[in-house]
Chains A and B, each alone.
Chain A
Amino acid sequence: MINLKDLMPLIEATNHTPALDPAEVDIKGGYVCDMLSDVMGSAKTGQAWITIMRHLNVIAVASMTGIPTVIFAKGITPDANVIDKATEESIVLLSSPFETFKLAGIVYKALSS
């Protein structure tokens, strides 16, 4: 487990949901996928979800699945309506400049140490 606040500098994260405090989120694991049904079928509650999908359904899937944070790879930035919905659902949205492979590797290493 790692606190999201401690993970953020490692992935050079930008927080798009400043109304939410990353220090209140503990990450229990990670899931990497861009197919929403696969995330709902296999991701676990408390995992960070790494994706390049950035439309509104991502927030719905995270909410239904119990995912506390979505990390967008490649510096992808969500639109304002997505950010508003995420804030309403208490899901922290982060962007990292790294590509998915490197990003997942950093998160994996941080969780393993």
Chain B
Amino acid sequence: MNEFWHIEPRFEAAVKGYFAQPPQAEVELEFPVPEKDFNTAGNGASETKNLLKRLGVDSDTLRRIAVAAYEAEINVAAHSKGGIMKCLIYDDLIHIRFQDEGPGIADIDQAMIPGYSTADELVREMGFGAGLGLPNIKKNSDALHILSSANNPTTVELLIFF
């Protein structure tokens, strides 16, 4: 499996501490992300955003969470055989993990390049497929971890601090 990590330098200690011993989440949410279903994709991001809004998370952080989660849901719908979005919500951060059923990313570094896309015609007709999904997720997340390889499932997980 190939691995990609991006951690904002100021959150490095917090991120490593979190993954070394993940605590019990205050709230857990789970959403299915079916293959090629661009109407269901976005439900997870939308419901998570609405819950965090009620919990008092500020609007800029909400926007970053919503954009990162929606892009990741679109990626699962567009590029995989479907998967699951799981949110772990704490007092000071959200951890969102996307687990799909493959077929995986052959070259993660290439997939991170803005403008690089393997999206098909259907995805492009829906207005996606500009090759900006993963770069947008990275830009809006405090930590991003991707685990994948060709013919394997992909895990994309991100942390955003409140």
Interface of A with B (CB < 8 Å)? 34-38, 40-41, 45, 53, 55-58, 60-61, 63-66
Interface of B with A (CB < 8 Å)? 38-39, 42, 45-46, 49, 59-60, 63, 66-67, 70-71, 74, 126-128, 130-133, 135-136, 139
Identify which of A35, A41, A64, A66 contacts B127 (C-beta below 8 A): A35
Knowing A41-B132, A60-B46, the reply to whether A36 touches B127 (Cβ < 8 A) is yes
Identify which of B39, B45, B127, B130 contacts A58 (C-beta below 8 A): B127
Ordered by A's residue number, 29 sampled pairs between the chains whose C-beta atoms are within 8 Å are A34-B127, A35-B128, A35-B130, A36-B126, A36-B127, A36-B128, A37-B128, A37-B131, A37-B132, A38-B132, A40-B70, A40-B132, A40-B136, A41-B132, A41-B135, A41-B136, A41-B139, A45-B59, A45-B63, A53-B127, A55-B126, A56-B38, A61-B127, A64-B45, A64-B46, A64-B66, A64-B67, A64-B70, A66-B63
Classify the secondary structure of A's interface with B: helix
CB closest residue in chain B, given A44? B63
Which residues of chain B are near A60, meaning CB under 8 Å?
42, 45-46, 70
Which residues of chain A are near B70, meaning CB under 8 Å?
40, 60-61, 64
- Bound form: Cα–Cα A57–B46 in Å: 12
CB closest residue in chain A, given B38? A57
Which residues of chain B are near A65, meaning CB under 8 Å?
63, 66-67
